[in-house]
Amino acid sequence: MRIKCAFAFLLLLGAHLACAQDVRIGVFGLFRPHQLTVTVFSGAAIVLSAGNESFVLEGSSGRRVASIRFAPHGLLLQVGGQQVPASEVHAASRSNEATDFVLSVPDKISRHYRGTLDVTAAADTLLPVVAMDLETAVASAVQAESLPNTPLEALKAQSVATRSYFAAAKGRHRASDFCDTTHCQYLRESPASESAASLAVVATRGLVLAYHGQPFGAMYTRRCGGRTRSAAELDTPSYEYPYFAVTCDYCRSHPLRWRRRVSEADANKLLRQGEAARLEIDRRLGWDAIPSCSFITHTQNQDVVLDGTGQGHGVGLCQLGARAMAEAGASFREILDHFYPNTEIVRLPVSAPPLRGATRSGEE
């Protein structure tokens, strides 16, 4: 793996370079919210726009919280004693840029975001979308996707893969580029600036994976089972990168074995449709219903029993394998070179504001 000569001069600029692009993340979709609250941070201000009306949330004004509710014909924004019907609510700083705010589904979840917020309604539920800069999104996903005490070099490798996915795989949802679940990349609040995840993101700022000169949406998996899978083995539409199968020494030496009982219909679907069927069954029965597509089948008491290994789709970077490689002294470039053969690291060339860490303000 090498860094492209066309980008080499940018490397001299160091960690303050990044890609000046926002990613739009649909959040809280699993909760199907009918009500949201927006709370301003102390010392900050939020301008909420609904149709021709606008309101300012600011601690000094006594207005710190706004409520957005689903209504029969759209939304209802409530600020203090005022209510305004609207088809969409937009929240941003006074200059219509990113700001810090807490978004909540009452009595369920609260998270601190830095970005702008758009809320619409569809299918009897609210659709909140947070637009945040790329590096903030990367840090938030790396923190959420990585295991505790993961070595820094493995977090750097994860950062590059995560950034690659955000940069090259936009448009996965109708109202947003991505969601905050494992359907896209698991994402919570951005971590504190001194956290290992933030340090890894800053150290790799703007770096993405490319194949034949083009960045691609890098996939990764929790535990590959001893060998990663190629794109062809997924039996899904082709990818811009073929995902060559490679051996993972850690998972081969430490296999995760599992057993599940499924109906004959689900077993037949898994055998015919592979990964697509696994995801459909997991959405229906729970995200650990079928841990991976690496299994053998046999019948027992009229049930079909799956005996399998691994966790996840098994494609791209294996997070457990990357962690073991880092603990053995491998650099993030060596980790990426192993799990994404025949790729190169390039730097997205446009500058962006530095990553801003955020302390946690809510619990799931």
Question: What's the confidence (pLDDT) of residue 285?
Answer: 82
Query: What does the angle CA 244 – CA 249 – CA 251 come to, to the nearest 5 degrees?
Result: 90
> Which residues share a beta bridge with 77?
68, 84
Per-residue pLDDT tens digits for 96-144: 999 999 999 999 999 999 999 999 998 889 999 999 999 999 999 999 9
The answer to whether 135 and 205 have CB atoms below 8 angstroms apart is yes
Following CA atoms 204, 208, 209, 212 in sequence, which dihedral angle do they give, to the nearest 10 degrees?
-130
One-letter amino acid at 179 equals C
Q: How is the beta sheet containing 214-215 ordered, strand by strand?
A: 214-215, 207-211, 344-347
The answer to whether 212 and 163 have CB atoms below 8 angstroms apart is no
Pairwise CA distance, residues 87 & 74, whole Å: 5
**Ranges of each domain in the chain:** 35-123, 135-246+314-347, 257-309
Burial of 152 (0-12, 13-18, 19+ CB in 10 A): middle
Query: What does the angle CA 183 – CA 187 – CA 192 come to, to the nearest 5 degrees?
Result: 165
Question: What's the confidence (pLDDT) of residue 61?
Answer: 74
Give the predicted TM-score (pTM) of the model: 0.82
Q: What is 108-164 written as a DSSP string?
A: TEEEEEEEEEEEEEETTEEEEEEEEEHHHHHHHHHHHHSPTT--HHHHHHHHHHHHH
* Number of residues that this document lists for the chain: 364
List per-residue pLDDT tens for the chain, 364 residues long.
433 333 332 232 233 333 348 999 999 999 999 999 999 988 889 999 998 999 999 977 778 999 999 998 889 999 988 999 999 999 999 999 999 999 999 999 999 999 999 999 988 899 999 999 999 999 999 999 998 999 999 999 999 999 999 999 888 888 899 999 888 899 999 899 999 999 999 999 999 999 999 999 999 999 898 999 888 887 655 578 999 999 999 999 998 888 888 888 888 888 887 777 887 887 788 778 887 777 888 887 778 988 878 778 889 999 999 999 999 999 999 999 999 999 999 999 744 443 443 322 222 2
Per-residue pLDDT tens digits for 143-162: 999 989 999 999 999 999 99
